Amino acid sequence: MFRPAEEALVASPVSDVAIDPTNLDDVRELAAQLRVDSIRSSTSAGSGHPTSSMSAADVLAVLVARHLRYDWDTPHDPANDHLIFSKGHASPLIYSIFKAVGVVSDDELMTGYRRFGQRLQGHPTPILPWVDVATGSLGQGLPDAVGVALAGRFVDRASFRVWALCGDSEVAEGSIWEALDKAAYYQLSNLTAIFDVNRLGQRGPTEHGWDLDTYARRVEAFGCRALAVDGHDVEAIDRVLTEAQSSDRPTVILARTVKGEGFSEVADQEGWHGKPFPPDMAERAIAELGGERHLRVRGPLPAADAVRVTPSAGGVKVELPTYEVGKKVATRKAYGEALAAVGARPDVVALDAEVGNSTYSEDFGKVHPDRYFEMFIAEQQLIASSVGFSVRGYVPFASTFAAFFTRAYDFIRMAAISQANIRLAGSHAGVEIGADGPSQMALEDLAMMRAVHNSTVLYPSDAPSTAHLVAAMADRDGVVYMRTTRGAYPVLYGPDETFPIGGSKVLRSSDADTVTLVGAGVTLHAALEAAGKLAAEGIAARVIDLYSVKPVDGATLTDAATRTGGRIVVAEDHYVEGGLGGAVLEALANLGQPLRLVQLAVSNLPGSGTPTELLDAAGISAAHIADAARSLIGG
């Protein structure tokens, strides 16, 4: 009998019973239990998506009992299959599965779902060891699954399979089709997507309802195999899951289901998306489903002799490229050369979005072609594939123009929630790129990346600092972003310099300094030029290379501000909001003395022109930096 919320702490008196996975009648009972527990947990929590969970219960019962090769007691076994709920709002279903396999107790399901401080969160996250990636922002789980499958087929060369459950509403997202396109391109026969076609979305019918033929044509057009099935016919589900595993290309199972299946009051009825049943209604639903059960199931295990790959740096010593001081080298070029060198580590992979000859990630591909993956112009899949490689323990570096990461920002945000370790490199940043014009100019990227939870944001100004920071990125957890510059600028540092993340470099200083100039990337070179102009006038200026934007070197900034009377000029090839100036202001928020800061940044919509023209028009050239310093001193 259903236990209402006030009685949820009472342990169930019913004993656990192990089912026989070879008996499909037992599997049907398991599916009924998954529905019942989806209802119980969401009603107890007072929120959740029971009807979305109920539609997919039969498919998941068959998959978990008979096809998913997974050691639930050893979730990090590299030979395990991967099960990704792209349809993350169906969390009551996945948590009910965790109860059925015995890794989550009934009490936790009833008292921990969607509660503060508990691990059964509203949408699945990797706080649970059986969850690979955070889902809930729709259209992302399947793209992540493509990345996991890429790692399995081309780098691990292992036999595990990747299964992804998708809702029919989320297949309106373009990222789903990016994923299927790349899955077909790479012939990921180890990937099976399951579309839960239950006809109803959040506010009413989906775009194509139960029109499986339309879904099938689209799937096939992208180069994947489509298999239609009645999603409540256990025998038919078992057959198509078996058939999918013998395919020579990615398979999409189109399961025609009913939202709220098993409870006649809500089955195929609008208005029940994301709504738990009231306690009295839940009791009726559970009674109609045959009552509360506490069945246990364990499906097949990975083969004892399966390939098990645990990526590591392999003790390889990385020989970074070196550069002659004064020689002009673009930081994007240094990025590619350093990435190729870091690729000596067997755990490093690189991905690009068809601009590898501009980001110079192609340098990696020339040396390590077996670990270089082209995502073409599909930036969402670029990030998702990186997340998938991270799931498998690899160190992915993903590169494209900095401006185009904005298209994939939700994927970057979700990567942080997934606690993924991914490295991103954005080239062609700022007005410095010149004649291409504003559509190509990343002027928001520093703010965007700084806002990501636990992110690291780097902005080197020359080739040696770029190379050293690329090596540091490989060992850095979380989302790590490097901004590189299109143009070539003089090498500033010798081969023995170090560049710890969170640090900075003071390039000019004296006891007579009266103003501090802060720059990064192209504006550092402008700041050095401005300091030279000021020195000729008898004005001593301290110059800081703030190559680590997050975390920022607050100690060096505070010391400089203190020694120069709180007079600071920050110049950045970025919009005013959220970039270098914001990082400096946050670091100096508690300076303890008056702060007189001038922030030079791009404030107007730029157009085409030469880099020199555009930097000057934006007010971030050496002349403007010198003028700002003079105004602070004169004021």
User: In which band, very low, low, confident or very high, does the pLDDT at 314 lie, cut at 50, 70 and 90?
Assistant: confident
Burial of 125 (0-12, 13-18, 19+ CB in 10 A): buried
Q: Is 609 helix (H, G, I), strand (E, B) or coil?
A: coil
Task: Please state the pTM of the whole predicted model.
Answer: 0.96
Average pLDDT over every residue of 376-388: 98
Per the listing, tokens 């490989």 go with 474
Q: What digits encode the pLDDT tens for the residues 335-366? A: 999 999 999 999 999 999 999 999 999 999 99
Domains of the chain: 5-296 (3.40.50.970), 328-490 (3.40.50.970), 505-634 (3.40.50.920)
The answer, yes or no, to whether residue 1 has pLDDT greater than 90, is: no
Q: What digits encode the pLDDT tens for the residues 68-109? A: 999 999 999 999 999 999 999 999 999 999 999 999 999 999
The answer, yes or no, to whether residue 561 has pLDDT greater than 50, is: yes
Q: What digits encode the pLDDT tens for the residues 295-307? A: 999 999 999 999 9
Please give the pLDDT value at position 5: 35
The Cβ of residue 4 has, within 10 Å, a number of other Cβ atoms equal to 15
The answer, yes or no, to whether residue 152 has pLDDT greater than 50, is: yes
Compute the half-sphere exposure of residue 419: CA atoms within 13 Å on the CB side of its CA. Answer: 9
User: In which band, very low, low, confident or very high, does the pLDDT at 241 lie, cut at 50, 70 and 90?
Assistant: very high
Burial of 590 (0-12, 13-18, 19+ CB in 10 A): exposed
Q: What digits encode the pLDDT tens for the residues 500-517? A: 999 999 999 999 999 999
Residue 469 and residue 458: Cα distance in Å, rounded?
8
To the nearest 10 degrees (0 to 180), the angle between helices 554-563 and 580-587 is 80
CA 406 to each of CA 14, 219, 351, 448: distance values in angstroms, whole numbers, following the listed order: 52, 27, 17, 8
Catalytic residues: 379
Residue 96 and residue 60: Cα distance in Å, rounded?
11
β-sheet bridge partners, residue 457: 481, 550
- What is the DSSP code (8-state) at residue 155? I
The answer, yes or no, to whether residue 4 has pLDDT greater than 90, is: no
Please give the pLDDT value at position 341: 98
Alpha helices, DSSP H, located in 432-563: 445-450, 463-473, 522-536, 554-563
Residue 108 and residue 119: Cα distance in Å, rounded?
9
Residue 207: phi and psi, rounded to 5, are -60, -40
User: In which band, very low, low, confident or very high, does the pLDDT at 173 lie, cut at 50, 70 and 90?
Assistant: very high
Residue 45 and residue 43: Cα distance in Å, rounded?
5
Residue 252 and residue 255: Cα distance in Å, rounded?
9
The arrangement of strands across the sheet holding 225-230 comes to: 82-85, 162-167, 191-197, 251-256, 225-230
CA 183 to each of CA 80, 157, 563: distance values in angstroms, whole numbers, following the listed order: 20, 16, 57
What percentage of the chain has pLDDT greater than the value 90? 96
- Nearest CA among 51, 47, 50 for reference residue 116: 47
Average pLDDT over every residue of 316-340: 97
What percentage of the chain has pLDDT greater than the value 70? 97
**Residues sharing a CB contact under 8 Å with residue 133, sequence separation 6 or more, in sequence order:** 84, 126, 140, 141, 144, 387, 388, 391, 414, 418, 420
Residue 222 and residue 265: Cα distance in Å, rounded?
38
- Nearest CA among 442, 467, 469, 468 for reference residue 457: 469
- C-alpha R_g of the chain: 28
Dihedral angle computed from the Cα positions of residues 281, 287, 289 and 292, in that order, rounded to the nearest 10 degrees: 100
Residue 459 and residue 449: Cα distance in Å, rounded?
12
Residue 520 and residue 570: Cα distance in Å, rounded?
9
User: In which band, very low, low, confident or very high, does the pLDDT at 592 lie, cut at 50, 70 and 90?
Assistant: confident
Please give the pLDDT value at position 10: 31
Q: What digits encode the pLDDT tens for the residues 510-540? A: 999 999 999 999 999 999 999 999 999 999 9
Residue 518 and residue 513: Cα distance in Å, rounded?
13
Residue 376: phi and psi, rounded to 5, are 55, -160
Please give the pLDDT value at position 635: 65
Please give the pLDDT value at position 13: 41
Residue 235 and residue 238: Cα distance in Å, rounded?
5
Burial 224-244 (b: 16+ CB within 10 A, else e): bbbbbbebbebebbbebbeeb
Residue 571: phi and psi, rounded to 5, are -120, 130
Output the average pLDDT for the chain: 96
Q: What digits encode the pLDDT tens for the residues 41-64? A: 999 999 999 999 999 999 999 999
* Six token digits for residue 143: 């793209």
